[in-house]
Amino acid sequence: MYEVELKAWLDNKTETENKLKNFAIFDGFFEKQDTYYHLKSHNITVRIREEKITRQNDQIENQILVTYKKKESRLSENGEAYEVNLEKEFTISSKEDFQEILFDSGYKISLKKHKSVSSYYVNVENILETPISCHVEFCYIEKLGDFIEIETLTEDNSEKNTTKLKEALILILEKLEIPTSKIEKRYYKEMLKNV
């Protein structure tokens, strides 16, 4: 599965989130502790994410996810940045056990990231006039600040399809009155290494 995603800086998270609540479905609050492991000899990075999820009914869930992404940044014709990432993800029961496998395979910890998230779902009619389910997150990234992330999933990563999906993501930005100039082209990992 491929994710088509963009992220943008937020000037006023509370005001923007209140606008989104008018047309989105709340999913929950997430605390995400990410540890990135890098295998230098093959230039491969794996992420282990420890999540604490608080749902609307105050039910708390915990999960540990392993994610491997092949990331690709693309620019639209008008210069707007978005990502098309091949993503493989699965849950594990023990971070320590899986981490031991990574260390024994030559991986080293390359970065840690903490993310506080309010999560929503939005359905958008795009130019193809088909409904697209989008995941919208208001994120506070420690050491960086507030962002909005908007993504959708697809099995078709062709330029034509991902461009149409990117346009659906831009529609959400426009509805929230966030200028496209706020879109961030860099990955969080890249930004955090420069902090």
pLDDT, tens digit (0-9, with 9 covering 90-100), for 113-125: 999 999 999 988 7
Contact 151, 134 (CB under 8 A): yes
Place of tokens 């005001």: 15
C-alpha R_g of the chain? 17
pLDDT category of residue 128 using cuts at 50, 70 and 90? low
Looking at residue 155, what DSSP letter applies? Answer: S
Output the CA–CA distances (angstroms, integers) from residue 22 to 9, 36, 83, 145, in the order listed. Answer: 21, 36, 27, 24
3-state secondary structure of 96: helix
Which range, of 73-87, 92-106, 114-128, averages the lowest pLDDT?
A: 73-87
Q: How far apart are CA 4 and CA 41, in angstroms?
A: 28
